[in-house]
Amino acid sequence: MFDDVAERYDLTNDVISLGQARQWRKAVAAAVDARPAQKVLDLAAGTATSSQPFARAGSYVVPCDFSLGMLRVGKQRHPWMPFTAGDATKLPFKDDTFDAVTISFGLRNVQDTDAALREMLRVTRPGGRVVICEFSEPTWEPFRKVYVEYLMRALPPVARTVCSNPDAYVYLAESIRSWPNQPELAARLTGAGWTKVAYRNLTGGVVALHRGFKRN
């Protein structure tokens, strides 16, 4: 499915998020706080648009994705980056490798969320951090109802105007509706072994940033 939408994925995301996607990426970059010489793993990186801020900060960033189609498009655009094919539940990296692991809008597409959270912990060095950016639950009840209506009724037609496979965005809308809310995801992070877990809402809870640390 993601292979089919790779070419126009970034454009489609900008359109269906009403331009908010770029602001969300900035918030992720600030939360990850990548530093020179640090190693950052960017999971579900797609075409590596999300990886660029970490590279600009001087970090060694590895864009990793399950979709070979996404990786191919990304490699064409950023040939110098070490794109890596990988399953988030069975990452092809050694223990304690990365200073930071991050995933944006990809965790809900992983078949086993808890296994992925444990794998992220395994490949993070002691004292390192995880940052998860994912769609979540709007905090204001009236807006929440409007948002769900947009997801199920407006998102697929909007996606059809810019995307060759709008059915993929029907799936995405349904996956957003069924995803755990902010406290539930925080609890799953804690259950996977992450410490100092916290989250903050973006765009009124449409998106949430979760962060945790690996024990020293």
Of 97, 106, 182, 174, the residue nearest 138 (C-alpha):
182
Q: Do the annotations mark residue 27 as ligand-binding?
A: no
What is the separation of C-alpha 60 from the centre of its chain, rounded to a whole number of angstroms? 18
The pLDDT assigned to 172 comes to 73
Alpha carbons 30 and 123: distance in angstroms, whole number: 21
Which element (helix H / strand E) includes 201? strand 195-202
Alpha carbons 75 and 124: distance in angstroms, whole number: 25
Extract the residue ranges of the chain whose pLDDT is less than 70: 1-19, 150-152, 154-156, 158-170
pTM assigned to the model: 0.86
The pLDDT assigned to 11 comes to 46
Q: Do the annotations mark residue 87 as ligand-binding?
A: yes
The pLDDT assigned to 41 comes to 98
The pLDDT assigned to 62 comes to 98
Which element (helix H / strand E) includes 209? strand 207-213
Q: Do the annotations mark residue 88 as ligand-binding?
A: yes
The pLDDT assigned to 6 comes to 44
The pLDDT assigned to 16 comes to 54
Q: Do the annotations mark residue 104 as ligand-binding?
A: yes
Q: Do the annotations mark residue 10 as ligand-binding?
A: no
